[in-house]
Amino acid sequence: MAAYARIHEIEFPVLKDPGNAVADQFGAQRTPEVFVLDRDRTIRYRGRIDDQYLVGKQRPEPTRRDLALALDELLSGDAVSVPATDAVGCHIGRVPKRQEQGEVTYSNQIARLLQQRCVECHRQGEIAPFPLTDYAEVVGWAETVQEVVHQGRMPPWFANPEYGTFSNDARLSDDEKRLLDEWVAAGCPEGDRAQLPGPRQFTVGWQIPPPEQVISIREEPVKVQAEGTVAYQYYSVDPGFTEDKWIKAAECRPDNRGVVHHIVAFFVPPGEKLRDGVRGAMVGYAPGMPPTWFDEGTAMFVPAGSRVIFQMHYTPNGSEQLDRSSLGLVFADPATVTRRIGGGMAGNRFFQIPPGADNFEVRSHHHFDNDALLLTMTPHMHLRGKSFRYEAAYPDGTREVLLDIPHYDFNWQLRYRLAEPKLLPKGTTLECIAHFDNSPDNLANPDPTKPVRWGDQTWEEMMIGYFSTLPVEPNGPAAQK
């Protein structure tokens, strides 16, 4: 605790609360939750510090500083105008009465569940705010884990389960949720430690074969501020491609996993700009996302003269950090490539979202002139993005929903990978339907009073449905001989 206070430069006294005695006396439920006492030790205010953070959302800046206002009113001899507010945060990790055994225990079932679903991010040095790798850590977070799982906030996954089956679906099953519920209800028994699974092993270093070229986001490390929100950072790098390249494996590798939320790297062909909506190949990193690695004979084409544009999403962790993330590439011999990975975007640049509009619709489409196998879909909008849907309009007149994101979250740039490639026959039109919320009810909205047009900055908007495909018939250099 002392180390935490030192690292985060906390200047006020920090005290332990053995056995939850103080928290229980005040009836505190969340962290952070503040209590203001007068000279008679009477509680005059309790609740949140300000209104910047809500459940799963945050404003760019607070609009009401509840604690500061309560202190000002109290010191002025006035009654506190708002004496109580709802605290927003995690459950306080109370020390439970120790339970050794039960039908569901940490050692037998819960440790395995967490290893499979959570510890990719929730381990030391990763992006999650706390680890979930041993009993002592997990038991204090048990109620919070249970809550965010049932709210659908964790693990992060936004696809409507009514449409499509995806190989990277992160959600817990109903049976897994029941196990978690039973364990928490029983007092979080630890169980027999002899039943614990071995620790999950993670690859150290590159997960792809040794890269033939490594491209860093910049020469000098990026400084990531200690607190607050960092706008998306974009870095344009010339990789020196003097000839066309065929890429069979690519990996975005975070340098500082404690602050790198995600990376998207675009290969931008000569003459194109990010602002126009990148049509080139795309590689990404997010915790739990495997690197891009194609089957034998399959590769991604990048023309000579292309640049790499990195989109970096940083999340401050309480102290200033440095990062120099990179992209590793393994090239294929063109003579061995029989299938060229395809893809692109169904984007719309020509829209204007009116001020205050809470459900403004924008559509885009892409027409397929040849049979194709759809592999992945990656919707992209900015802070006013509300929902996104991919639909296929087939040549026979039928339609199918391929992916539905009813609640889009800009903070999670997820790629949705189909469990089985989807045949899109020649003549199919891929249609994307997006909705935007430019109203004051959207807490992430930078300014609901202004009209919003296309742009690469987060206070502007984009409407892009990225996708990747594989040709049904061989179309690579080796197939054309």
- What confidence category does residue 357 fall into, taking pLDDT thresholds of 50, 70 and 90? very high
Question: 10 Å Cβ neighbour count for 230?
Answer: 16
What are the φ and ψ backbone dihedral angles of 435, each rounded to 5 degrees? Answer: -125, 145
pLDDT over 80 at 60, yes or no? no
Q: What is the spatial distance between Cα 141 and Cα 404, in angstroms, rounded to a whole number?
A: 31
User: Domain 208-335 maps to which CATH number in 3.40.50.300, 2.60.120.310, 1.10.287.110, 2.60.40.10?
Assistant: 2.60.120.310
Tokens 């029983």 belong to: 186
- Average pLDDT of the residues in 385-414: 96
Per-residue pLDDT at 145: 96
- What confidence category does residue 122 fall into, taking pLDDT thresholds of 50, 70 and 90? very high
Pick from 289, 308, 282: nearest CA to 380: 282
Instruction: Report how far apart, in Å, the C-alpha atoms of 266 and of each of 70, 214, 414 are.
Output: 49, 15, 15
- What confidence category does residue 363 fall into, taking pLDDT thresholds of 50, 70 and 90? very high
Per-residue pLDDT at 464: 93
- What confidence category does residue 55 fall into, taking pLDDT thresholds of 50, 70 and 90? confident
CATH 3.40.30.10 assigned to 12-91: yes
- What confidence category does residue 480 fall into, taking pLDDT thresholds of 50, 70 and 90? low
pLDDT over 80 at 108, yes or no? yes
Q: Please tell me the class of the 338-481 domain.
A: mainly beta
pLDDT over 90 at 188, yes or no? yes
- What confidence category does residue 22 fall into, taking pLDDT thresholds of 50, 70 and 90? very high
12-91 shares its CATH topology with 208-335? no
Q: pLDDT, tens digit, for every residue of 254-307?
A: 999 889 988 989 898 888 765 555 555 678 888 777 888 898 999 999 999 999
Per-residue pLDDT at 101: 77
Per-residue pLDDT at 481: 56
Q: pLDDT, tens digit, for every residue of 422-442?
A: 999 999 999 999 999 999 999
- Average pLDDT of the residues in 362-384: 95
- Average pLDDT of the residues in 232-243: 94
Q: What is the spatial distance between Cα 99 and Cα 372, in angstroms, rounded to a whole number?
A: 56
- Average pLDDT of the residues in 86-112: 86
What are the φ and ψ backbone dihedral angles of 229, each rounded to 5 degrees? Answer: -110, 130
pLDDT over 70 at 415, yes or no? yes
Per-residue pLDDT at 369: 95
Per-residue pLDDT at 98: 65
Q: What is the spatial distance between Cα 183 and Cα 67, in angstroms, rounded to a whole number?
A: 36
Q: What is the spatial distance between Cα 348 and Cα 326, in angstroms, rounded to a whole number?
A: 30
Q: What is the spatial distance between Cα 182 and Cα 202, in angstroms, rounded to a whole number?
A: 29
Percent of the chain past pLDDT 90, that is, above it, reads 72
With the CA atoms of 235, 238, 243 and 247 taken in that order, what torsion angle do they form, in degrees rounded to the nearest 10?
Answer: -30
**Spans of all domains in the chain:** 12-91, 106-195, 208-335, 338-481
Per-residue pLDDT at 347: 94
Q: What is the spatial distance between Cα 70 and Cα 81, in angstroms, rounded to a whole number?
A: 7
- What confidence category does residue 211 fall into, taking pLDDT thresholds of 50, 70 and 90? very high
